[in-house]
Amino acid sequence: MKALRLHSYRQAPSIDEIDEPSVTGPWDVIVEVGAAGVCRTDLHIIEGQWAPLQNPDLPYTLGHENAGWVREVGSAVNNVQPGDLVILHPLVTCGLCAPCRIGQDSHCERASFPGINADGGMAELIRTNARAVVKLDSSLAPSKVAALADAGLTAYHAVRKAAPGLFPGSHAVVFGAGGLGHIGVQALAAITSAQITVVDRNEAALELAKSLGAHHTILASTDDVVKKGVRDITGGGAHVVFDFVGESGAEKVSPQLLRNQGSHYVIGYGGKIDLPTIDIISKEINVVGNLVGTYTDLVELMTLTANGQVTLHTSEYPLDAALDALDDLNRGRVVGRALLVP
C-alpha cells in the first residue's frame, strides 16, 4: 500500500510502498483510511521538535487525524464490525492504568500515538484498537470529520474545560482562527454563552470566524492594536483567552489580554511563555495546558458535528500530493484544515 513515510528529520517525507498492517492482537482494528488530516504538528515532527518526547523508529508513517471504514477486527472486538464508518481517537490506550480508569484516557500511561510515535494514517490502511474507534452517524463522511480527531478534539477539549467559567456576559478571546481556532469558535458558540472575539492576521480567517459564530473580530496588525481592541470590546480584558497559535508572538501577547482572575488556555505551541511572577499573583491569572482530549470529548464532538453545530472547513488533496499539502500549510495557504484523501 502507499504511505507517507518520514525517513529523516529536517528532510521531506516520501510516498513509499509498504506492507499492509494486519491484526496481531484480539483488540486490534484495521481501518481503511477515508481521510487523514494534515496538521501543523506534522510540520513540527518533520522539523524534529517531537523527537525528544516520542522518538519513533524511523522510517514511519505520518498522520494522527484519521477516519474511515473498518476493514478487519480482532477476536475480542464487539463494538465495531467490518464496514462501519468510524473516526479514530488519536491515542491507542490500555484501559487499565489509573488515568484510563477515571476517564482521562488521553493521559494513558501505556498509550501509543499513531502518526506521532507509531505508524499513522497518511496511508491506505491503519491499525488501531477497539478503544480508539468511535462509530459515526451515517450522515457524516471521513473527509468531513477526519481532522476533528485531533485538531477538533483538542479545540473542543480546551473549550469543554473552560466552559463552566464562560457564563452569560463573559468574554472569550480566540487567538488564531485557522485549523484549530475555527473549530474552537464553533465549540464556544455551541456549548457556552460567552461573547466571542477572534484575533487573526488573515482577513479570510476572520470572515470565516464571523460566519461560524464570532461576535467580534480583530485584525492583528500589531500587538498594540490587538490589546486596545480586546480592552475596548471586553471592557477590560477577557475571562479566557484561547491561544491556538502558541508561537510567532501570540504566546506573548495572549496573557496580556486577560482581566483579573482570567485564564490563558494554551493549545498551539512552538514558542515560550515568559510571565513575571508578580503579574501572575497580583492578577491571579492561570495558564492552562491542553493536549488532545478524552474519548468522551470525541463522542460529544461527533454529536455536535452530526447535529450541524460544528463544521470542518477543508481543502482536500490526494495522498500523492501530500508534500503539496504540507507546503501549503507551512506557507499559510490553507484556510481551515488540509486533508489527504487516499
Query: Residues 42, 44, 49, CA angle at the centre, nearest 5°?
Result: 135
Three cell numbers, residue 166: 464562560
Chain length of the chain: 342
Residue by residue, DSSP assigns 11-57 as S--EEEE-PPP---STTEEEEEEEEEEE-HHHHHHHHTTTTTTT-PP
3-state secondary structure of 36: strand
* Residue 57: DSSP 8-state: P
**Domain boundaries 153-289, CATH class:** alpha beta
Q: What's the longest Cα–Cα distance across the chain? A: 60
Same fold, 2-149+311-341 and 153-289: no
Domain 2-149+311-341 has CATH 3.90.180.10: yes
Handedness of CA 102, 103, 106, 108 (dihedral sign): positive
DSSP string, 222-281: SHHHHHHHHHHHHTS-EEEEEES--STTHHHHGGGGEEEEEEEEE-S-SS-----HHHHH
- Say if residues 257 and 173 touch (Cβ distance below 8 Å): yes
Domain ranges within the chain, ordered by starting residue = 2-149+311-341, 153-289
Q: Is the peptide bond before 59 cis (omega within 30 degrees of 0)?
A: yes
Q: 121: helix, coil or strand?
A: coil
Provide the terminal-to-terminal Cα distance of the chain, rounded to the nearest Å: 10
> Contact at 8 Å (CB) between 231 and 237?
yes
SS3 11: coil
- Amino acid 75: pLDDT: 97
For residue 133, which phi and psi values (nearest 5 degrees)?
Answer: -95, 135
Distance of CA 117 to the CA centre of its chain: 17
3-state secondary structure of 180: coil
At 177 the pLDDT is: 92
How far is residue 68's CA from residue 46's CA, in Å, rounded to a whole number?
Answer: 25
- Phi then psi dihedrals of residue 144, to 5 deg: -95, -10
> Residues 263, 239: contact at Cβ < 8 Å?
yes
Only one residue has cell 501530500, namely 322
Geometric angle at alpha carbon 336, from 304 and 148, rounded to 5°: 40
pTM of the model as a whole: 0.91
Each residue's pLDDT expressed in tens, for the chain with a length of 342 residues: 999 999 999 999 999 999 999 999 999 999 999 999 999 889 999 999 888 888 889 999 999 999 999 999 999 999 999 999 999 999 999 999 999 999 999 999 999 999 999 999 999 999 999 999 999 988 899 999 999 999 899 999 999 999 999 999 999 999 999 888 999 999 999 999 999 999 999 998 999 999 999 999 999 999 999 999 999 999 999 999 999 999 999 999 999 999 999 999 999 988 999 999 999 999 999 999 998 999 999 999 999 999 999 998 889 999 999 999 999 999 988 877 899 999
- In angstroms, the CA 182 to CA 154 distance is 12
- Contact (CB, 8 A) for 242 and 154: no
Predicted confidence at residue 337, as pLDDT, reads 85
- Helix extents (H) in 87-150: 98-101, 142-145
Q: Using an 8 Å Cβ cutoff, are 172 and 146 in contact? A: no
Helix 181-191 and helix 295-306, axial crossing angle in degrees, nearest 10: 80
Task: Specify the pairing of strand 337-341 against strand 28-38.
Answer: antiparallel
